[in-house]
Amino acid sequence: PRRPDEVPNTEDEGPIVSDKAEWMALKPMNCPAHILIFKQGIKSYRDLPLRLYENGCCHRNEPHGALHGLMRVRQFTQDDAHIFCREDQIVDEVRAFCNLADRIYKDFGFTYSIKLALRPDKRFGTDEMWDQAENELRDAVAAAGLNTAEYGWEELPGEGAFYAPKLEWHLTDAIGRTWQVGTIQSDRVLPERLDASYIAEDGQRHRPVMLHRAIFGSYERFIGILVEHFAGKLPAWLAPVQAVVATIVSDADDYAEQVAAELRKAGLRVETDLRNEKINYKVREHSLAKVPNLLVVGKREADEGTVALRPLGEGAKQEVLTLAAAIERLRDEVLPPDLG
């Protein structure tokens, strides 16, 4: 059996890892390691589909000129999963992934189109294997009802990976740019080359089909796309800091800490700003940082058990609320879409 270090580099794009790495190699992909996990022990057809997921850190020796912010980096983390399945399970597994991707992208506020990337000129595997793999992906998208003009369905000749055709999800951001993120690939090549097998109903060893799938592609790139899409103003449920409690006078410091503690207890990500600065300075600073909610407290608010709530955004009005009312409002605002 071939080891992961024997998986070939891509000739056109150059070596995957630096030529200066003489005694070790940084992991460029998660796929071979997942095959090694699959090969631990004997697998039966009853064990399939077997789904392995990893937030895997990978490295690619990208040319210096190709590096671009969070969009193209040399170290990145993939939301990487591999599904080992039988031939008769492929369509159902891909259809389930299509439905999952649809739900997640809509939760983030994106529209998208789906493309089928077909066999490239340089590839592994027979034409029969590629015919079958491409048709399975077509059938799965049709079963999910996504092979329509509404979803931008299109086939892209020559755009597949060297080992498998793939479905690609192209997101459209707020200003109309498209970004290719999610993908699922139907692969018969790597299981063959790395000798993965299972015992079928006939008692013989068979090759599983390996589905490579990712929703975000890499976390770094997807975060960059989100920042661009929302122009830094992330929805409250997604913002790293969902609220800041800022004081007008130092006499309100203890009350500000109490307000922050109650907000944290309600599940919000909160910071306090107790600096000896004018309140207008604090408001401007946190507005530029795109914090969704600013809770201003002074001596009066401390005495009355209230807060002055200032949502982010032009035209948003400050409103004085009891602490309990503010917590109830913010708790609903920061609830993730899948929990709403």
Residue 178 carries which side chain, given as an amino acid letter? T
- Reply yes or no on whether 60 is catalytic: yes
| Active-site choice (34, 43, 59, 78) | 78
Q: CA angle at residue 115 from 112 to 116, to 5 degrees?
A: 155
Q: What is the pLDDT of residue 135?
A: 93
Greatest Cα-to-Cα distance within the chain, rounded to the nearest angstrom: 79
Q: What are phi and psi of 217, to 5 degrees?
A: 85, -75
| DSSP per-residue codes, 36-70 | HHHTSS--BGGG-SEEEEEEEEEE----GGG-BTT
Q: What is the pLDDT of residue 175?
A: 86
Joined together, the tokens standing for residue 215 give 């929703």
Residue ranges for the chain with pLDDT beneath 50: 1-4, 6-8
Q: d(Cα 196, Cα 205) in Å, to the nearest integer?
A: 9
Q: d(Cα 145, Cα 141) in Å, to the nearest integer?
A: 6
| Active-site choice (166, 188, 213, 221) | 166
| Active-site choice (193, 212, 221, 229) | 212
Among 3.30.300.30, 3.20.20.70, 3.40.50.800, 1.20.120.430, name the CATH number for the domain at 243-339. 3.40.50.800
How crowded is residue 320: how many other Cβ atoms within 10 Å of its Cβ?
A: 14
| Active-site choice (2, 27, 39, 60) | 60
Q: What is the pLDDT of residue 2?
A: 42
Q: d(Cα 90, Cα 303) in Å, to the nearest integer?
A: 64
| Active-site choice (43, 59, 82, 310) | 82
Residue 302 carries which side chain, given as an amino acid letter? A
| Active-site choice (31, 34, 59, 213) | 31
Q: What is the pLDDT of residue 15?
A: 53
Q: Going by C-beta distance under 8 Å and a sequence separation of 6 or more, which residues neighbour residue 233?
A: 290, 292, 312, 313
Q: d(Cα 50, Cα 197) in Å, to the nearest integer?
A: 12
Strands laid side by side in the 178-187 sheet: 50-59, 75-85, 209-214, 178-187, 166-172, 111-117, 154-156
- The sign of the dihedral angle between the CA atoms of 99, 140, 151, 167 is positive
How crowded is residue 65: how many other Cβ atoms within 10 Å of its Cβ?
A: 7
- Reply yes or no on whether 31 is catalytic: yes
Q: Going by C-beta distance under 8 Å and a sequence separation of 6 or more, which residues neighbour residue 299?
A: 248, 249, 251, 252
Q: Burial letters for 218-236: b for 16+ Cβ neighbours within 10 Å, e otherwise?
A: bebbbebbbebbbeeebbb
Domain ranges of the chain: 4-230, 243-339
Q: What is the pLDDT of residue 7?
A: 47
Q: What is the pLDDT of residue 86?
A: 96
Q: Which CATH superfamily is 4-230 part of?
A: Bira Bifunctional Protein; Domain 2 (3.30.930.10)
Q: What is the pLDDT of residue 1?
A: 39
